[in-house]
A and B are shown apart, each in its own frame.
Chain A
Amino acid sequence: MLSSSLINEIQKILGKENVFTTLEERLCYGYDSTPEAFLPDLVIRPTCTEQIQKILKLANLHLFPVIPRGAGTGLSGGSLPVKGGVILDLNRMDRILEIDEENLVATVEPGVITAHLQEEVEKRGLFYPPDPASLKTSTIGGNVAECAGGPRAFKYGVTRDYVLGLEIVTPKGEILQTGGKTVKSVTGYDLTRLYTGSEGTLGIITKIILRLIPKPEAKKTMMIVYERLDDAAKTVTLIIKQGIIPVTLELMDDITMRCVENYLQLGLPLDAEAVLIIEVDGPIDLVEKQINQVGELSRANGAREVKIAKNEKEREEIWAARRAVSAAVVQIKPTKISEDIAVPRSQIPVMVRRLKEIAFRYQLNLAIFGHAGDGNLHPNILCDKNDSEEMERVEKAIGELFQAAVELGGTLSGEHGIGTMKAPYLKLETGEVGFEVMRAIKKALDPNNILNPGKIFGSG
């Protein structure tokens, strides 16, 4: 609990209207898109870097936790105030400071909504590729802090590949500038990369310099239905071998399709094992040629149906199906545990089979979808968090699916981060040494454990 004199002091820094104290308001900042929720002691809404500096200095003096929060769409519990403390809401810092068309660089504040930035740069013929399915709500700050990816990652990479520089308020309240407007930079440690994906544990991101690229001339989208999952996986490998790099190679399994169909009624097949959504982009002639090549390849490899979108409306329909997935699966059961493993691409069929086998053994509802191009799968366990017996089975299943991913040479999290949800399993992948190196970094930068305690390393 914060004393009333401390709250007074905070109100003086930010203005009373930017400090939420009521139970009702605080409750609304204690959750994200995971099933969990906690109660922060206070919610503050700064509008500039200086205010954040003052707050962090105060936090080190009085030792209260500070938890940065963007749109609260995180899927690993990153913005949850697990130890109470002050939620630092960054949505008020939402200006696009500059779009530098000559150097292909944008400078933004952390609260800018991802889709808004994309709209603005695309108006100028430019392109910011990272496209998490939550892009209409998520903030750029949250994207950088989680190193968000998206369907386009296979061709264009993830958030990390576009962050050139950052302004950070360190846990002690100092200002750190990393990187800059140049694509090349090797002056000392790569702090920009360290902070990208740091989940709000090492500093507050207050300014972001992003790399832009020219907008591709054209794109074409198709949906391919497979009777058998293995055929889908085989097609993916063959496409890449032919030298075609699609922007996206999205995979949905049968259960996922059923949920989406139930919600959108798009006429998705309900008896097929898998659907691939493939998009190619680039110069207009090349795109035509490649989409047809992909069509032929898939037909030759067991595809039941190949549907190429003829216009923007059909394209939107295909994407509507994919975008709806993450949220539509909760129709089965109210609680969604959304996992985020990634395996080497060739291991996808093996991984999917192991996942289904685990779900069967623990009698759980499991929907699998993900990014087949980069091996990043989202197995979603649908359960009911009020059913403690079921939740025990869920716990065990999660342990096994992480184990399986690591055994196949993969990772616990492709893009959602560790947060609280995966903290108990971190060592599975990092090993003892990796874990200690990371913890040493955290301790060196944040000796009082002010920023986002309880994340990544668990209750340390």
Chain B
Amino acid sequence: MNNLAKTTAYLNRCSKCGSCQAVCPLYGETKTEPYVARGKLFLLKSHLEGKLPLSSKMKEIMSLCLLCKACVEQCPNSIPVDRMILAARQEIAREKSISFVKKNIFQHLLKNNGRLTLAAQLGYFYQRAGLQWLVRKSRILEVFRGELAQKEHLLPKMAKHPFRKQVPRLFTCSRPKLRVAYYTGCLTNFVYHATGYAVINVLRNHELEVLIPEQWCCGIPALAGGDEKTAIELARKNIDVFQKAGVDVVITDCASCGSMLKEYADLVETPEARAFAAKVLDFSQFLSEAVSFHAGENEIPGLVTYHDPCHLKRGQGVSGAPRKLIKMVPGLAFKEMKESDRCCGAAGSFNLTYHNLATKIGRRKVQNIQQTCADLVITGCPSCIMQLRHVLELEKSPVRVLHLAELLSMTYPSRKANKERGANKTKSRRGRC
């Protein structure tokens, strides 16, 4: 029995009450029933009853899901809609085979750090030199359709060298309380180095030994694209590496990676996988639960709000910790935004594949941000950061977006992280309205 067929019991639990309509960001923008969980579940049910083939329309409909779990949280019968969509994508990929380019990315690029780095460097040169032909040749953007120019704007500036090549493998500490490993995630590694430096800086201010082992993509892009096999292979590699590293905790700075790493236990189903998954903690969760966090003395004046990444709040059940930490930053005022846990539209590569729709979803988020008058948005997922910055810029908003680690890092006396970020950029005024 394939993974999809295993979900029949869940399908029978859907009472078609339509509660999912109220929270689905895609339904909110499109008001189109096939895009909401109720519709998708009905289609999957029809398929399993033999009434509907896995057509290309089905493929499109199943790919139109942010996997944000808002419906899962809302569902009175706790149907794990996201897992069912993943199972459907997997089945579709098996039957229809994943597009040639996507397959290449999942099976060759993600599994090979050298090639992934090369691809990122191609991206860097492309942006530096405007060498359009290079991208066309490397076929990176070909996976995604249409609106090329706008998508290029969405892509942030690639770093020249990967983060992990720039920092030592081990940061020692004279009397470490814990030995922690830092799982950097691809976006930190290839794009947002400032986040990486900030994470290390904050950890080093808490008497910890920090290890950054060689590591692989967490596998979530492959899983979301229907390629479970590649995801499992990547999981195995990571489990192996971190087991050998002999650490107490594995910390992530990326909500999506974090939720994926925690799911290794279900994905790989070995004792090692369970042991590994149990060690994974989100950066904010670690600071507020495992060590007693203390902020530095630097005051950060300003008004700040917080965006809950889907994979942090609903994926890992972490929403109190980041708020608690933000409120410990000296000088800062905090204001909650409306719908703080509504998806920003990033959803992995969703914003590349369906740029227009993702931007509409992002606009609603930006409106909620603007209503708070905050001059800074904090969040805990690099993918959200990319999307929020993109949409804020489209809306010509001066609001800045930082990872929680960057904010916390700024409170300590200057080290490298502060130089990277330019801590003094934050205006002294409180709020923008």
Contact = CB atoms under 8 A, between A and B. Distances in A.
B77 interface: yes
Contact of A27 (B13, B17, B19, B43): B43
A136 interface: yes
Interface string B20-43: 011000000001011000010011
Contact of B39 (A28, A34, A137, A326): A28
A32 interface: yes
B34 A137 contact: no
Given A22-B57, A24-B34, A71-B21, A328 B39 contact: no
B139 interface: no
Given A33-B15, A324-B76, A24 B58 contact: yes
Given A71-B18, A91-B31, A334-B13, A23 B52 contact: yes
B61 interface: yes
Nearest to B15: A330
A330 to B, nearest CB: 4
Given A23-B52, A27-B43, A134 B34 contact: no
A129 interface: no
A328 B77 contact: yes
B13 A328 contact: no
Q: Which of B13, B34, B57 has the most CB of A within 10 A?
A: B34
A27 B78 CA distance: 23
A31 B43 CA distance: 11
Interface string A17-46: 000001111011101111101000000000
B177 interface: no
A324 B17 CA distance: 11
A263 interface: yes
B55 A24 contact: yes
Interface in B50-94: 52, 55, 57-58, 61, 76-78
Q: Which of A71, A137, A324 has the most CB of B within 10 A?
A: A137
A102 to B, nearest CB: 28
A327 interface: yes
Contact of B34 (A25, A35, A111): A25
A334 B12 CA distance: 6
Contacts of B57: 22-25
Contacts of A334: 12-13, 15
A28 B34 contact: yes
A413 interface: no
A78 interface: no
A91 B46 CA distance: 24
B16 interface: yes
Contact of B42 (A31, A263, A324, A330): A31
B395 to A, nearest CB: 23
A419 interface: no
A136 B19 contact: yes
Contacts of A23: 52, 55, 57
A22 to B, nearest CB: 5
A137 B42 contact: no
Contact of A327 (B39, B43, B52, B76): B76
A275 to B, nearest CB: 18
Q: Which of B19, B77, B78 has the most CB of A within 10 A?
A: B19
Nearest to A22: B57
A37 B43 CA distance: 12
A137 B33 CA distance: 12
Contacts of B15: 33, 327, 330, 334, 336
A70 B46 CA distance: 23
Contacts of A34: 16
A119 B12 CA distance: 34
B61 A24 contact: yes
B14 to A, nearest CB: 9
A32 B21 contact: no
B18 A27 contact: no
Interface of A: 22-25, 27-29, 31-35, 37, 71-73, 89, 91-92, 94, 111, 113, 115, 134, 136-137, 263, 324, 326-328, 330-331, 334, 336
9 contacts: A24-B55, A27-B43, A27-B46, A34-B16, A35-B16, A72-B16, A72-B18, A136-B21, A330-B15
Given A24-B61, A330-B76, 19 more contacts: A24-B34, A25-B33, A25-B34, A27-B46, A28-B43, A29-B33, A32-B16, A33-B16, A34-B16, A72-B33, A94-B31, A113-B22, A134-B17, A137-B21, A263-B76, A327-B76, A330-B15, A331-B77, A334-B12
Interface of B: 12-13, 15-19, 21-22, 31, 33-34, 39, 42-43, 46, 52, 55, 57-58, 61, 76-78
